[in-house]
Structure 1
């Protein structure tokens, strides 16, 4: 997925709250928006190089979004709006092996009282080994230590609820899955971050035990693009 807006480099200074950060651009300190409510503490370290995406909207208080940061030589995308766009592109191109038979893609669809990121359909219905209708939830992953990636990096009651609601989708006879999009390259495994949010880990294992599919994919991340790459082993 290409990013059409202007991308520039900056030096990260500090993050006083979840939504704002201060960076240095050409010797000038400016405030930017952070499109990620997670902590990202292992990424947003004072002095590191970050990437900013220009957002030329006169109604905004900040001229840029902080979308990525370098952790050593590794570039990690932290934009929480990106995962659904990357996954939608991959679904359209049939790059997710276990979901490639689904040829109709809907965004933000409701099942019962829940809203999921994607609803997929197989039309015409030609392979009875798969349910005709499939609901998919996407979670963006930015936490990494020595190639081991985990989610979440902050407690998420909403995330755990999504997993338990996917079990209800599965019980209805439909397909259900959660895809963890790892917003970096070089991941060797994915696991729930039990130390950060034990209930989320419990909910993920409950979903697994009740037939919900669990996917994890790494990405190729460049300054002006991010693309779904390889499936990564899930260790529960």
Structure 2
């Protein structure tokens, strides 16, 4: 995923009301930027840290900027939760992921049951439903999800299990927007119900694919798949 419009550099003053952040730009002016991440962002918030913003394209939008990334321990961490879906979609559509190659029709936001799943991929042999989640939380060497209780995320896992029981391929992709972690694991201490449901989904045959991406002010690209540890 390439940033088509040059990003704007600044430093974080504070995040507040979950969806707002005050940013000091390099010219000294202070702007309000939209924060798409509704989670706690507990390991990717550091006041005074470097950030990059993207300018809003909608002139009617109240906030003129969107907060894209923050530099933590010398590395960029992507915090825009709207990007992982697009990153996964582009990768599946282009056949860039060997685990999900060979699909001739790829569509976003498809309703199934009581849920809307992020991606549906099809060929003449099978249909595959793919849910995508954004991961930013670091716990030592682990990338963990979620960083706040998510009943919606649990519902998506349950829908994937239902689809799998019907003989449909079901995949859970985690896009890890930081490079300083080595293993993906659920956050048992934050949302035990989600962690337990993820373990159930795995046993039921739902595939888990954690993809670590490299984040930079010019682009976000898939780097590699991380190993999974559901027990820790």
Report the more deviating stretch, 3-12 or 198-207.
3-12
Q: Which string of whole-angstrom CA distances, capped at 9 and with x for unpartnered residues, describes residues 11-58 of structure 1? A: 101112111011111212221111111111321211111111111432
**1:15 counterpart SS class:** strand
CA contact (8 A) 1:134 1:174 kept: yes
The gaps in structure 1 that reach 5 residues or longer are 126-131
Contact 1:33 1:64 in 2 (8 A): yes
For 1:62, the equivalent position in structure 2 comes to 63
1:225 and 2:226 matched = no
User: Could you state the TM-score of these two structures normalised by the residue count of structure 2?
Assistant: 0.95
- TM-score of the two chains, using structure 1 as the length reference: 0.93
Which stretches in structure 2 are left out of the alignment for 5+ residues?
Answer: none
Q: Indicate if the aligned counterparts of 1:216 and 1:232 stay in contact, CA closer than 8 A.
A: yes
Write the distance in 2 (CA, Å) between the matches of 1:148 and 1:87: 21
Partner of 1:192: 186
- Answer whether contact 2:113 2:159 (CA < 8 A) is retained: no
**Contact 1:164–1:206 under 8 Å retained in 2:** no
- Give 1:158 deviation, angstroms: 0.4
1:142 to 2:141 alignment = no
1:34-183 correspondence to structure 2 within 5 Å = 34-123=35-124, 125=125, 132-183=126-177
2:18 matched residue in structure 1: 18
Question: SS in structure 1 opposite 2:91?
Answer: helix
